Chains A and B, each alone.
Chain A
Amino acid sequence: GESVGLHLPTLSVQEGDNSIINCAYSNSASDYFIWYKQESGKGPQFIIDIRSNMDKRQGQRVTVLLNKTVKHLSLQIAATQPGDSAVYFCAETHQAGTALIFGKGTTLSVSS
């Protein structure tokens, strides 16, 4: 599968491959993290979230990994499909009701 060690703005994979999208977050006080998928002309769509008391969480075909030591978040998509093509954003926040802060997006392109 394809993966990126540092944030890259684009990622191209073949259908059926596993994809890994990385994100470095900025605030060590952040304790809640979310991955969003945004398709052209639409608002961001929730994929999966994780709180800082966990280091891994799995959903349907997706897994989020959190490494608080290096402030790194990753999204793994298994068996990537053409419908997964979109821009993916990570977002972080911390207690006290502050807003989600979005990272730089990664455009995932899946070819069949």
Chain B
Amino acid sequence: GAGVSQSPRYKVAKRGQDVALRCDPISGHVSLFWYQQALGQGPEFLTYFQNEAQLDKSGLPSDRFFAERPEGSVSTLKIQRTQQEDSAVYLCASSLSTNEKLFFGSGTQLSVL
């Protein structure tokens, strides 16, 4: 596609629900990143894939967060048993390779009530 696509654009969840956020990177981009952006803050790194391999998940805040990219293209970020502190915008970004500029999607705004 022309850019990084994320869905849904908005997600409202009740505390304790599981959610799944989808990212379609730019076609051919090897690297895929997930970031979390709290209101008024800069994006914070969550996890990174190179093709289907998850090379770094050091930014995931708890074991309730899980990401996958099984075929090296589309990625899903799953949050289990959501908590209010999970409310944020979740941004996906892709790049041709590592250490290259990232192209970001518009994000999924998650609100946990």
- A residues with a Cβ closer than 8 A to B are 32, 34, 36, 41-46, 49, 89, 93-105
Contacts and interface: CB of A to CB of B under 8 A. Distances in A.
A97 B42 contact: no
A34 B42 contact: no
Nearest to B100: A32
* Interface size band for B: 20 to 34
10 contacts: A36-B104, A41-B106, A42-B107, A43-B104, A46-B101, A49-B101, A93-B99, A97-B55, A98-B48, A99-B56
Contacts of A49: 101
A31 to B, nearest CB: 8
A101 B46 CA distance: 11
Interface of A is mostly: loop
B98 A97 contact: yes
Given A97-B50, A97-B55, A102 B42 contact: yes
B26 interface: no
B103 interface: yes
Given A99-B48, A100-B102, A102-B44, 19 more contacts: A32-B99, A34-B101, A34-B102, A36-B104, A42-B106, A43-B91, A43-B93, A43-B104, A43-B105, A43-B107, A44-B91, A44-B102, A44-B104, A89-B42, A94-B99, A97-B31, A97-B48, A102-B42, A102-B43
Nearest to B50: A97
Nearest to B89: A43
Contacts of B33: 99-100
Interface in B22-72: 31, 33, 41-45, 48, 50, 55-56, 59
